[in-house]
Amino acid sequence: MSDASDAPPLAVEATGLVKHFTSGKKTTKAVDGVDLAVPAGSVFGLLGPNGAGKTTVVRILATLLRADAGSARVLGHDVVAEADAVRGAVGLTGQYASVDEDLTGTENLLMLARLYGFRGPAAKSRVADLLEAFSLTDAGGRQVKTYSGGMRRRIDLAASLVLSPRVLFLDEPTTGLDPRSRNQVWDIVRVLVDDGATVLLTTQYLEEADQLADRIGVIDSGRLIAQGTPSELKRSVGEGSVDLRLADSARRAEAAEIVRRTLGTEPAIPTDPYALSARVPDDGAHLVAQVLPALGDAGIAVPEFSLGQPSLDEVFLTLTGKPLPTDEPDAEPAVAEEVSR
């Protein structure tokens, strides 16, 4: 039996974080009592739509904003009282590239390496290693403004890793990337974690959270409304779904009523006239075996029958009453005037 002392130490912890923004006479609570506990060596995904408060949480943890209430520690350092120690141990990649587009990839990384204390051959060696790790060696001599979107994200990630941070904050790192470039960034994140880094990832992509995160926090309107592993969150909305394809579309209404009585949930009616699906209720897995016999007793033929797993999309819909949008403009409040120096 495992003891609490066997659990990995927390790399990031926050209690009751609150942040307001004021514009004119209007005050918005961007973060409303957020608690976090991120074990070292893991990936924590903060999932929610634009404007939900994800970026504000990251900026507080990275010492770029000061919370109005609550506290936070990164690697045991208070983000306010020990801000310099936090900054020396973390890396941050924001939603937009932070490198100079008029410089080459190599020049950007060399500049950062020298600012961080690398000198002479050590700086060049570190830059060469990063360019190779991010498959940018051939592009190192080109200006960043000539890079594709995926290459820009990779050089931005490389810039945040010059000092090999123990904690990396990735704020929507794959927004706007094509699937191939997104997969490349995912592979990089996995390598970083395998090497011992802790990653806090904000995303509005359900698949990204599912692919990368050990644990996920669902945030909406500044509040963290659920936390857990992907599997735990999916189980919270039920055991999955039953998907049927009928031989006779004319009997779909009758089949839907039988499924409703058997499972106790209201079936969904897809546009395909032969299709029918219904959610399996929590602790209702034993009812699934009764669906086909009940339909057979009524003489309804079902040539195709399958069980599906809940998705994170269903989790978000259940928790908030609305689907997770991915195409709205960034609604996070402007924070330039709030940055602490």
**What's the pLDDT score for residue 338?**
42
Residue 180 predicted with pLDDT over 90: no
Output the 3-class SS for 69-98: EEEEEECCEECCCCHHHHHCCEEEECCCCC
How confident is the prediction for the chain on average, in pLDDT?
Answer: 88
> Domain locations in the chain?
7-89+165-234+322-338, 238-309
CA quadruple 293, 298, 300, 306: dihedral sign: negative
CATH of domain 238-309: 3.30.70.100
Kindly give the interhelix angle for 120-133 and 105-115, rounded to the nearest 10 degrees.
Answer: 130
Asked if 233 and 44 touch (Cβ cutoff 8 Å), the reply is: no
Beta bridge partners of 12: 38, 74
**What's the pLDDT score for residue 35?**
97
**What's the pLDDT score for residue 308?**
78
**What's the pLDDT score for residue 175?**
83
Residue 337 predicted with pLDDT over 50: no
CA dihedral in degrees (49, 325, 95, 92; nearest 10)? 40
Residue 341 predicted with pLDDT over 80: no
Residue 311 predicted with pLDDT over 60: yes
Q: Residue 113 is inside which H or E element, if any?
A: helix 105-115
CA dihedral in degrees (290, 296, 298, 299; nearest 10)? 170
Superfamily classification of domain 7-89+165-234+322-338: P-loop containing nucleotide triphosphate hydrolases (3.40.50.300)
Asked if 197 and 166 touch (Cβ cutoff 8 Å), the reply is: yes
Mean pLDDT of all residues in 233-253: 86
**What's the pLDDT score for residue 178?**
84
Asked if 295 and 289 touch (Cβ cutoff 8 Å), the reply is: no
**What's the pLDDT score for residue 313?**
79
Residue 224 predicted with pLDDT over 90: yes
Give residue-wise pLDDT tens across range 16-54: 999 999 988 899 999 999 999 999 999 999 998 888 999
**What's the pLDDT score for residue 326?**
57
Asked if 18 and 29 touch (Cβ cutoff 8 Å), the reply is: yes
Query: The tokens of 88 are what?
Result: 């020396």
Mean pLDDT of all residues in 92-110: 89
Mean pLDDT of all residues in 256-269: 91
Give residue-wise pLDDT tens across range 201-217: 999 888 899 999 999 99
